[in-house]
Amino acid sequence: MRLTIHPLQRYVRAATTLTLALLAACATYTPLPLDGRAALSDRVEKLDRATDSLPERLSMDDVVMLTLRNNPDLVAARAQRGLARAQVLAAGIVPNPSLSGSYGFLLGGPGTTAALAAGVSQDLKSLVTLSSNRASARHAAREIDSSLLWQEWQTIAKARLLAVDLMEGEKLRQVIGQNGAQLQELLTRNRDALTRGDTTLTALVPDLSAQAAVRKQQEDLERQQATRRRDLNVLLGLAPLAALTLSENIGVPAVDATAIEQAIPSLANRRPDLIALQLGYRSQEDKVRGAILAQFPMLSLGVSGGHDSTDVRTFGPQITLELPLFNRNQGNIAVERATRQRLHDEFTARLATAKAEIQSLLADMALLQTQLAVKQPQLEELQQVAARAGSAYRNGDLDERTYVDVLSARNAKQQDILGIEQILLEQQIAVATLVGAGMPPVTLSPRETK
């Protein structure tokens, strides 16, 4: 007995085999649950670090290293790299061809067999814009890398500023403490004299007033320092109240104003945010080019074949052409061109603003350095006057009110100079950040746009 296989069964089997083969190459779903127990580290030793051990007192380099490796926002932002790589992969994949088929059962009439038709075609329009889409995705991926680098650079600058403010705040705390100890000594002596009846209550007023002012300064500074410590801890990926000890000599590289001025013309090839804007602009250039190429009408080429119910067999080319009578992609072209113009103007404005900010900071630093040079001799003179006034007061040749005024003037000058030094250090960090100091120059080749 001969087994006859119906033609429909053969096609069903072939389609089933092809479907199973395609499914075997497909990706599978894997869940990625959220971690509801995520929390900041409670100790520095638990942080991710480049070395096996850390010093007891962290240097500026240690702070920068820990910030880069543990800052929660930076860790989350780096996930964008994976997204950009996936977009590059998606943009470079050639679109699939289309397969069509039909089967008509013979229900009646002069026919002798069922009708069958099949065809395969490829969309050519998607191939025309494939190169532009690939280039746009590559530039967009590099833009994300540069934007992430700029975010890292800014986070480092914030950590440096907090570390400097903490160290300068500690110096100020010591100065205020020494001044407070001197005033407390006067106050104790006068209280003892009042107890003995050697002075009056009026003589205590200047000491009480000066001591209250110093105490308020100490309390205000203590709150500022506590806020700075918590902020720095969070930047490093530490719990706000975790212990963190910094080196007394944190170290900030000096700024060479002449070298900074010489670096300004190459700013666009050095600062990561400006490089990111240029890459974003080039990505948009490719989108404009792709939108113009997309004016090409929808065209599909392929072949088809089959037979009708009378078993007349045919085979030949198949063409599907869109008629561009109304929509010639002019809307998308206008949108992409307007977006390109916006990015062009944004880069120009950002570059001009960056240069102005750097020049303004250099001018401020020069002014502060001039003021500091004037104030340092004034402090030395006040320190000498305070020393002589102390001797005169102890010998009974100077009244206490005048002596307290001299101490207050010296204390105010000390704090004034410490404040200027702190601002100068902050501006050094700001200039280094704005100019991209330490960043290697990047040259964007014109071929990258092709």
**Segment (H or E) for 213:** helix 204-235
Residue 251 · residue 62 · CB < 8 Å: no
Q: How far apart are the first and last CA of the chain?
A: 67
Which two structure tokens, joined as six digits, stand for 171?
């110096």
Q: What is the pLDDT of residues 288-316, one digit of tens each?
A: 888 888 887 777 777 787 777 777 787 77
Q: What CA–CA distance (Å, rounded) separates 436 from 301? A: 53
Average pLDDT, the chain: 81
> Which residue did the predictor score with more confidence, 113 or 214?
214
Which two structure tokens, joined as six digits, stand for 170?
């500690």
Tokens 């006034």 belong to 389
pLDDT at 7 over 60: no
The pLDDT score that the predictor gives to residue 39 is 72
SS3 track for 99-140: EEEEEECCCCCCCCCCEEEEEEEEECHHHHCHHHHHHHHHHH
DSSP symbol at 97: P
Residue 346: band (very low, low, confident or very high) from pLDDT cuts 50, 70, 90: very high
The pLDDT score that the predictor gives to residue 446 is 56
DSSP symbol at 448: G
Which residues neighbour 289 within 8 Å (Cβ) at sequence distance 6 or greater?
Answer: 132
Residue 318: band (very low, low, confident or very high) from pLDDT cuts 50, 70, 90: confident
Residue 106 · residue 114 · CB < 8 Å: yes
Q: What is the dihedral of CA 274, 279, 285, 288, to 10 degrees?
A: -110
The amino acid sitting at 234 is: V
| SS3 of the chain: helix, strand, coil, percent, to 5 | 65, 10, 25
Q: What is the pLDDT of residues 32-71, one digit of tens each?
A: 777 666 677 878 888 887 777 788 888 888 888 888 888 8
Which one, of 160, 151, 164, 168, lies nearest residue 66 by Cα?
Answer: 160
Q: What is the CATH superfamily name and number for domain 55-102+118-442?
A: Outer membrane efflux proteins (OEP) (1.20.1600.10)
pLDDT at 411 over 80: yes
Q: What CA–CA distance (Å, rounded) separates 54 from 61? A: 11
Q: Tell me the mean pLDDT in the region 341-351.
A: 93
Global pTM reads 0.76
Which two structure tokens, joined as six digits, stand for 54?
């850390």
pLDDT at 449 over 80: no
Q: Tell me the mean pLDDT in the region 180-190.
A: 82
Q: What is the pLDDT of residues 255-270, one digit of tens each?
A: 788 888 888 888 888 8
Q: What is the pLDDT of residues 85-136, one digit of tens each?
A: 777 777 777 777 777 878 777 777 776 777 778 778 777 777 777 788 888 8
Residue 20 backbone dihedrals phi, psi, to 5 degrees: -65, -35
Q: What CA–CA distance (Å, rounded) separates 412 from 410? A: 5
pLDDT at 447 over 90: no
Q: What CA–CA distance (Å, rounded) separates 235 from 244? A: 12
